[in-house]
Structure 1
Amino acid sequence: MSLVSSTVTADTVLAGRYRLTEVIGTGGMGTVYRARDEHTYRDVAIKLFATPQSMTHADRVRQEREIRLLSMLSHPGLIPLYDAGTHELVDGPHRFIVMELISDPTLLRRLADGPLHNYEVASLGAQLADALAYVHARGIVHRDVKPANILINDEGSAGFARTVKLTDFGVAHFVDGSRLTGDGTIIGTAAYLSPEQVAGESITFATDVYSLGLVLLEALTGKQEYSGTVIEAALARLQHDPEIPETVGSEWRDLLVAMTSRDPEERPSAVTVARVLRGGASRVTGPVPLGRTRSSRSSHRAEHRLHRAAHRHTRRGTFDAVRRWRRRNTIVGSLAGIGVVAACFGSYLLGAAAH
């Protein structure tokens, strides 16, 4: 099927405002362009969907679902939606959405150079789990968590040296929502499907946790766990669990084994994964706030030793650390000032005594 009209050119202006400049990528239901917003003079990304006539009913429902999903989501780990509309082309009306333009490389491209350091994986994994916890709290399952849908920015934020964003909600699913495909139809990317997706069973939040576990394992080892043809990759996870090497460390093994359990009920929640990757408590029940607890540092480290280097790396950028640093400098500066005043006063007394 043709995703876009042949009349779309580099100078096409959508809705009298967005001038398309170049193609960024294509997907199953549309094409993504770099565009110039002629009202605000900023570059944006525009996803131009195929015409309704060229799509099935399920495609059209997924198209509207993606627009609805993106319009209701706002999180640092997700790409924000700026605008949406319909533009009439020669072959009919095309729906489009306007998003923040992200030119960062994907995790897939980063992994082409080899595995990441364990503290980098812990940092990126915590952010991804945060984003998943946010969408899960709104009853949404992403269903396609994979390296190609993860963007990495080298500019740090919120205490992280690098920041990540999860993209592409085109196949996302509302829990307890209506099915868009017949029984047995698989939606997602074969190498990262959960066992229940392969078996055509009910999809839950645990589905995303399983896929994230495979992504983290690949980031640590540089090796895709389930490769081969689509059928081979999909069925392999029903025959054997992921092989987690001893070299990743016992803490990583415990977490990844839990995340990639064949039984969805045995997998931790995204909230729990985020806390563990930050070095926090893993025994979590319910949507508690993320981040550090107020437990003492000694008990904190005694309970969870998952990559202390990663925990220190993350903690250095928090507001608590900044406040401690400022208080320390204030105290040191005050003591130094008192010392200078005392020295001057002592010199004065010695001089007076000499006279």
Structure 2
Amino acid sequence: MKQEIKYIGNYKILDIIGKGGMARVYTAIHIPLNRVVVIKEMGKSESRRRFKQEALISASLNHRNIVTAYDYFNIGSSCYLVMEYIDGMNLSEIIEHEAPLHPVTAAIIAREVCLAIGHACKNGILHRDIKPTNILISRQGEVKISDFGVARGEDSPHLTSTGTVIGTPFYMSPEQAAGKELTYQSDIYSLAIVLYEMVTAKKPFFGETTQAITAKVCRGRYTSPLWKDPHHSLRISRIINKAMKKN
């Protein structure tokens, strides 16, 4: 049976690369420009307000280490965000297959992510979900952060109530785990956890439940990454410990 080719506006769908809840993610070709892109589709739900906010925040950021947003539109009851396609892997996949990474490699990746966080911060935006799956590495070695779905801008409407915990437990800062007001340092803290995982192949905080993980995050006690490779990771360890130091 011949498979039906699906089109969304001027885009020819190539494949579904992710789905969950009310959202789907496709790779597609923008027919007029013959350009491969990624399209996120959001169905009819309350999450559409946050989805529109994600589109506006993504479009406001122009940086080589941030995935570019190309377009946003509605068709029927669905809305779509069109983004740059990165031919490569996310950092989670790289960690799974190659970690522990050499400290120099890990430091280069962390530096590029830090530049992206800095650019977002200068524009009044907190990512709030820095983690390996949201860090993309192209085949050419380009590093880009993606998914501003829970990001917060200075002028963005409050879509979560005070005390609500936003983010991924393994990579949260203590103030994030406690539902407190965040600063750019929270994103830096999350990046330090990612750096820790790159050089040790382990997470500094772990547990069987979300509550167990966030409790350990709030206590802030973890094993120094020096245990894995004392010779090569001394400088990395100092960076991680400084970034994860509780105020």
Q: Which residue of 1 aligns with 2:188?
A: 209
Q: Secondary structure at the match of 1:224?
A: coil
Which structure shows the bigger proportion of residues in helix conformation?
A: 1
In 2, are the aligned partners of 1:144 and 1:189 still within 8 Å (CA)? Answer: yes
2:122 is aligned with 1:129: no
2:50 is aligned with 1:62: yes
Alignment of 1:159-308 (within 5 A): 162-175=141-154, 177-228=156-207, 229-246=209-226, 247=230, 249-263=233-247
Amino acid at match of 2:56: R
Unaligned runs of 5+ in 2: none
Measured after TM superposition, the shift of residue 139 of structure 1 is 0.3
Q: Which residue of 2 aligns with 1:76?
A: 64
Q: Among residues 137, 157, 163, which one is paired with 1:152 in the alignment?
A: 137
Q: Whole-Å Cα distance in 2 between the matches of residues 177 and 242 of structure 1?
A: 35
Amino acid at match of 2:67: I
Q: Relative contact order, CA 8 A, sep 6+: which one is greater?
A: 2
Q: In the superposition, relative to structure 1, how do residues 11 and 154 fare at CA in structure 2: closer, same or farther (>3 Å)?
A: closer
Look at both structures and tell me which one has the larger radius of gyration over its CA atoms: 1
Alignment of 1:80-95 (within 5 A): 80-88=68-76, 93-95=77-79
Measured after TM superposition, the shift of residue 177 of structure 1 is 4.7
Amino acid at match of 1:237: V
Measured after TM superposition, the shift of residue 179 of structure 1 is 2.7
Measured after TM superposition, the shift of residue 87 of structure 1 is 1.0
Pairs aligned (count): 239
What is the root-mean-square deviation in Å for CA atoms of aligned residues?
1.8
Q: In the superposition, relative to structure 1, how do residues 187 and 29 fare at CA in structure 2: closer, same or farther (>3 Å)?
A: farther
Q: Which residue of 1 aligns with 2:84?
A: 100
Q: Secondary structure at the match of 1:112?
A: helix
Amino acid at match of 2:29: R
Q: In the superposition, relative to structure 1, how do residues 27 and 150 fare at CA in structure 2: closer, same or farther (>3 Å)?
A: farther
TM-score in terms of structure 2 length = 0.90
Q: Secondary structure at the match of 2:89?
A: coil
Which structure shows the bigger proportion of residues in strand conformation?
A: 2
State which drifts further: 29-38 or 135-144: 29-38
Q: Secondary structure at the match of 1:68?
A: helix
Unaligned runs of 5+ in 1: 1-8, 156-161, 264-355
In 1, are the aligned partners of 2:100 and 2:200 still within 8 Å (CA)? Answer: yes
Q: In the superposition, relative to structure 1, how do residues 36 and 176 fare at CA in structure 2: closer, same or farther (>3 Å)?
A: closer
In 1, are the aligned partners of 2:126 and 2:151 still within 8 Å (CA)? Answer: yes
Measured after TM superposition, the shift of residue 176 of structure 1 is 6.9
In 2, are the aligned partners of 1:242 and 1:260 still within 8 Å (CA)? Answer: no
Amino acid at match of 1:252: I
Amino acid at match of 2:112: Q
Measured after TM superposition, the shift of residue 163 of structure 1 is 2.0
